[in-house]
Structure 1
């Protein structure tokens, strides 16, 4: 089993963390470019201990990874209670949006 994270994946994860935590405005095209390249790396990376280590160290990369894997695994790296609360809140918001609005 491969337990070495590609250097690009590691560097992109660190870059995404810096962009996410930046106090200064971030160029949207730069952010999008980093996310696109990191997404490609995450889709190609084997799920092993090395990938887990990168995901543990980078909350922004973990969130991206979950979004990429959502159709197969849901919020696979989020604590169950947090994931359940997020789903319940989403359902409540959808139900509220579906209700007819009273006419003024």
Structure 2
């Protein structure tokens, strides 16, 4: 890999992260466009070194951080997600599952 390619990787990831942020904010895109941007960003993130510049990108872009976290979930879990929101989401999911499992009240 030449130096031009090495320099373009963080730039490409940053551009894709910005685009994904705009899509997350509600800019009009269809599902295929969203998936394409997320997949391209995932490929870029996988090629980046795990260093301070990658960390800075992930801090600046919550959408990129979620993609990154999903890429490495098997090894690290939700390592970039603050504990309180992650725990609240898990508790809400457990409550929703428990509610869905309860028998429906009779309509009589």
- Residue correspondences, number: 101
- The alpha carbon displacement at 1:47 in A equals 1.6
Structure 1: any 5+ residue segments left out of the alignment?
none
Give the match for residue 22 of structure 2.
18
Structure 1's consecutive aligned runs of 4 or more residues displaced over 4 angstroms after TM superposition are none
TM-score by length of 1: 0.80
Cα-Cα RMSD: 2.2
Larger Rg: 2
- Residue aligning to 1:27: 30
In 2, the alpha carbon distance for the partners of 1:51 and 1:5 equals 10
Q: Confirm or deny that 1:94 pairs with 2:76.
A: no
**Partner Cα distance (1:70, 1:51) in 2:** 17
**TM-score, normalization by structure 2:** 0.77
Of structures 1 and 2, the one with the larger relative CO (CA 8 A, separation 6+) is 1
- CA deviations 1:11-69 (Å, max 9, x no partner) are 111111122224x4223222111011111122232221111000011111112222222
